[in-house]
Structure formats: structure tokens, C-alpha cells
Amino acid sequence: MTSIHDPEVTFPVTVKIIKRVQRELGIHCKIRVKRRNHRKEREQHILDNVLNQNFEVDGPNQVWLSDSTELKYGLNGEHSVRLSGVLDLFGRRLLAFNLSDTETAAAEIQVFQQAFEVAGDVHPTTHTDRGSAYTAGSFNHFLELHNVKRSMSRPGTPYDNAPMERWWNEFKLRWMERHAMAKTYQELVKLVEEGVEYFNRHNRSAQRNGLTPEEYWSKAV
């Protein structure tokens, strides 16, 4: 029972009576929602453009670039996945890649784990864009464990990651578009694996003294 201090009210007033009166008169209590002062689920790490379009290196594992791109498959291209990769700026060798439904921090951690398995105990400057996967706390904490220096493209400046963007463009133009679109996910995986194999082990260039990226990279390690 609610205590009332109005002398004109001579009968007990219960919570049930109050709720019934509010309902009949259309009275609603406005509750002020307390704002929570908390961080987002995934802490954002925004970093400087340390690389600053300096794409000249003289050895492997000095600078790694990373990004993801969309690939389609299906009878009419109705399905899509993200292809993530880690590219060594030296020789333009794709150290690792993986396919995932969306670009997530977990997917990018996975592809970097593969890259470190290939390259060993190295500490390259790592450049990415500012996508949510790359600014996630979990992704940056993972890279901190490998003692790498981080670098990020400036907003709206894809040229800051130009070699990676070029690698995707050539991969799509010279490989994906020259083959029939994969109808199933399994066909897509096989097509991507064969494409990466071609660009790493068979694509020779005068810029690499006639060597493939893998030959050029391995010769300098």
C-alpha cells in the first residue's frame, strides 16, 4: 500500500489502484534511460599512415600489405565471399589468403597467422586500410604479439595501398575473368587456389629479373 499525504484522500491507495487509474486516463510514466558510457564491443585502433606510399623495399618481410576483395559465384553470381590476402611488398608475393563470408577481425587474424607460418619469426611493417576488421582490438592485439609496426591508409585514399589494390585487379582481370564463373563454393576455392599458384609460381616479370614472385622472394631470404 502506498502512503498518501493528501488530507482529501481518506481511503487506502494501492499500487494496483494507481496502475488502473493510469490505464483508464492514458497516463504513462516517462522513464529516463540512463546512458551507458562504454566502448564499442570492438575497440577501434586508428593509426597513422606510416608507410606514406613508400613502396620501395630491398628485402623480404620488411613491409606486408593486406586487404580483402569480393568474389562472386553461383549459377548467376548470386553468392559472394570475401577473399583476404597478405602481400609481401618485396616481389609482390602473396604470402597467405583465405575466403570468408564477410570481412571480420577473425578472418584477418587467420590469414595473418598463415602468413607468419610461411615467413617465420619476422616483424614487418603492416599496412591496411581503416576497415572495421583492421581497426578491431582483437586484430591489433594479435599483431602486437608479433611486434609489428602498424600503418593505415588515409580515409578515402586507396592509393596508399596501391600495390595490394593492383594485385587484386590483376588477379580478377587476368585470372577470374578469364575462367568460367564458379558454380559452387568448392569450385571457387579451387579456382582461387590455382590463381594464387599461378601468380606466385608462374608469373614472371622483368621487374623481378625474369623471376616469379616466389623465386625472387626465396632467393633473397
As to burial, measured by CB atoms within 10 angstroms (0-12 exposed, 13-18 middle, 19+ buried), residue 162 is middle
pLDDT at 9: 58
CA gap 102, 64 in Å, rounded: 22
CA gap 85, 67 in Å, rounded: 6
pLDDT at 33: 44
CA gap 22, 187 in Å, rounded: 64
Alpha carbon of 101 to those of 32, 68, 77, 106, 191: distances in Å? 40, 11, 15, 11, 17
Alpha carbon of 193 to those of 20, 38, 60, 99, 212: distances in Å? 69, 42, 22, 10, 17
CA gap 16, 19 in Å, rounded: 5
Distance of alpha carbon 106 from the chain centroid: 8
pLDDT at 167: 97
As to burial, measured by CB atoms within 10 angstroms (0-12 exposed, 13-18 middle, 19+ buried), residue 76 is exposed
Closest CA to 132 of 33, 43, 10, 12: 43
pLDDT at 145: 95
Q: What kind and span of H or E run contains 152?
A: strand 150-152
Cell of 92: 609482390
Cell of 109: 587474424
pLDDT at 133: 95
Closest CA to 199 of 100, 83, 27: 83
Number of CB atoms found within 10 A of residue 214's CB: 17
Going residue by residue through the chain, which has 221 residues, state the pLDDT in tens, using 9 for 90 and above: 544 555 555 666 676 666 666 666 666 555 454 444 434 435 678 888 999 999 999 999 999 999 999 999 999 999 999 999 999 999 999 999 999 999 999 999 999 999 999 999 999 999 999 999 999 999 999 999 999 999 999 998 999 999 999 999 999 999 999 999 999 999 999 999 999 999 999 999 999 999 999 999 888 87
Please give the backbone phi and psi of residue 130, each rounded to the nearest 5 degrees, phi first. -105, 30
Cell of 156: 578515402
Which domains are assigned to the chain?
63-220 (3.30.420.10)
pLDDT at 137: 93
pLDDT at 17: 65
